[in-house]
Amino acid sequence: MVPSVAHTSANAASSNPEASLASLKRRGRIKAIYILALVSSISLLCYYDRFVVAIVAQSIKADLHVSDGEIGLLSGLGFAVVYSVMAVPIARFSDSGRRVKTLSISLAFWSLMTALCGAATSFPMLLLARLGVGLGEAGGNPTMHALVSETFEKRWRGTAISIVVVAGGLGFMAASSVGGWIVDHWGWRAAFFAGAVPGPLLALLLWGTVREPKVANPVADERGILTSSKILLKRRAFKMLCVGLSICTIGSFAMMSWTPAYLMRHFNITASQVGSGYGLTMGVSTVAAMLVGGILADTLAKRDPRWSLWLPAASYVVALPFTVAFLLQSNLANALLLVAPMTFAAGLATPPAYALVQSLSGSKLRATGAALFLLFTNLIGMGVGPSLTGIVSDMFTHFLGADALRGAMALVASAYLIGACVMISGARTLIADIESADKN
């Protein structure tokens, strides 16, 4: 009798444990790459749905007759409060061993709310729908980062998370370029609908094909939200990272939210022209920054772990002069030329910051740490930056006229320097704080 292939393979595997181990490692790598690709796709959609409001702002302003302050509320405080406050309790639920379920449900919900944004017929309706998007996305980034961190070992964690962040950058680029094209051809409502369609499909794929990762004693960690938050905030490096980056993101969220409207007003161009010019330049620069930032952070951290804080701080210091120069341009071509270094410099901060949050949180508090970090950066950065810029722009209109928005953006961008100084101050205890996180 001729032995079957399966039987022969089984005998070969049992007689060659090294080959069996190699096969398991290969399957593990394929699984990890699949999860990374799926999570990256979700990240792309997440950022499209979050930032598409920036490219449709001018159309909404004209259609629904709203002020700059109200537009700032849609992209800033109105979204950020719900997103930030709900991120921590949702992350605690996720950390209890339900990361795949949490991300799947969150994705389906924020996609539904994005569709309702497109159906809104008044500003209050649109604001309520944006609050819903914020609620859904509160379960997004923290859970995505935790899921990827559990899938990849520590030495590859920064690079893996940077890929997820790069996908988010592509989503931001798509919000400007694809969203702008849709606005000019089918209107601002269609731009929201386009971001809603893929969500349920990706949610079903995640739910049906990815198993819950094994978390170290998820049930054994019965600490409440406040206790867990206190543990994390006692680590000085974690606290300084959260506060410092939050201050920096006041400027960066202001720039992201208002640059499309600024270009349309100052240079009298359409949404699709902003998308093809600014959107593509910004997107390519963001992707490059995310890839370089993750790899650079992993490389520098091997020499000295404190580079995980020094690099984000340095990136914002370098970004500030490019930002001011961008706002001072009277020629569109020169302004777009400065978008690349301005975006690249600020974008270098994101991958090392996200990876450092995971290292400072420890295995049991990964999603909680990410959520607490996002509570700071989004409530302060996203909540204050766009809204403050809109309010200041309305105030400046009385004496700056058409340059009011430009003056407001320049003023708010100065937060980069303050935040960088705060982050640098946290480097002193960084190594000890990482060791403490590993033990707990």
pLDDT the model gives residue 5: 37
Domain contains 216: no
pLDDT in tens, 218-255: 444 555 667 777 878 888 888 899 999 999 999 998 99
In this structure, is residue 23 part of a structural domain?
A: no
> Positive or negative, the Cα torsion across 122, 124, 128, 131?
positive
**Residues 427 and 310 sit within 8 Å (Cβ to Cβ):** yes
Give pLDDT, residue 107: 95
pLDDT in tens, 326-371: 999 989 999 999 999 999 999 888 888 888 887 888 767 776 787 7
pLDDT at 179 over 60: yes
- Which one has a higher pLDDT value, 58 or 328? 328
Q: What is the pLDDT of residue 215?
A: 56
pLDDT tens sequence across 36-52 = 999 999 999 999 998 89
Give the Cα separation of 110 and 49 in Å (integer). Answer: 8
278 CB-near residues (< 8 Å, 6+ apart): 176, 259, 260, 263, 336, 339
Over residues 161-174, the pLDDT tens digits come to 778 878 887 898 88
pLDDT value for 80: 79
- Which domain range does residue 322 map to? 37-210+223-439
Q: What is the pLDDT of residue 176?
A: 82
Measured CA to CA, the distance from residue 130 to residue 87 in angstroms comes to 15
| Amino acid at position 12, single letter | A
Whole-structure pTM over 0.85, yes or no?
Answer: no
> Which contacts of 402-408 are long-range, i.e. CB under 8 A and separated by 24 or more positions?
402/265, 402/266, 405/68, 405/258, 405/261, 405/262, 405/265, 405/266, 406/262, 406/266, 406/327, 408/258
Average pLDDT, the chain: 83
Distances (CA, A) of 263 to 45, 279, 283, 342: 24, 11, 16, 15
Task: Judge whether 266 lies within some domain.
Answer: yes
The single residue listed with the structure tokens 């209107």 is: 187
The reported pLDDT for the residue numbered 219 is 42
**pLDDT of the residue at 25:** 58
In the chain, the number of structural domains is: 1
Q: Is residue 31 part of a domain?
A: no
Q: 219: burial class by Cβ within 10 Å (0-12, 13-18, 19+)?
A: exposed
In the chain, the percentage of residues whose pLDDT exceeds 90 is 30
Residue 20 lies in a domain: no
Start-to-end CA span in the chain (Å) = 58
Residue pair 83/137 in contact (Cβ under 8 Å)? The answer is yes
Write the CATH number for 329.
Answer: 1.20.1250.20
Which pLDDT band, with edges at 50, 70 and 90, does 93 fall under? confident
- Whether 19 is covered by a domain: the verdict is no
Which of 84-88, 105-109, 316-320 is predicted least confidently? 84-88
pLDDT in tens, 374-395: 788 888 888 888 888 988 988 8
Task: Specify if 11 maps to a domain.
Answer: no
107 assigned to some structural domain = yes
- List Cβ neighbours of 24 (8 Å cut-off, separation of 6 or more): none
Q: How would residue 214 be classed by pLDDT, with cut points 50, 70 and 90? A: low
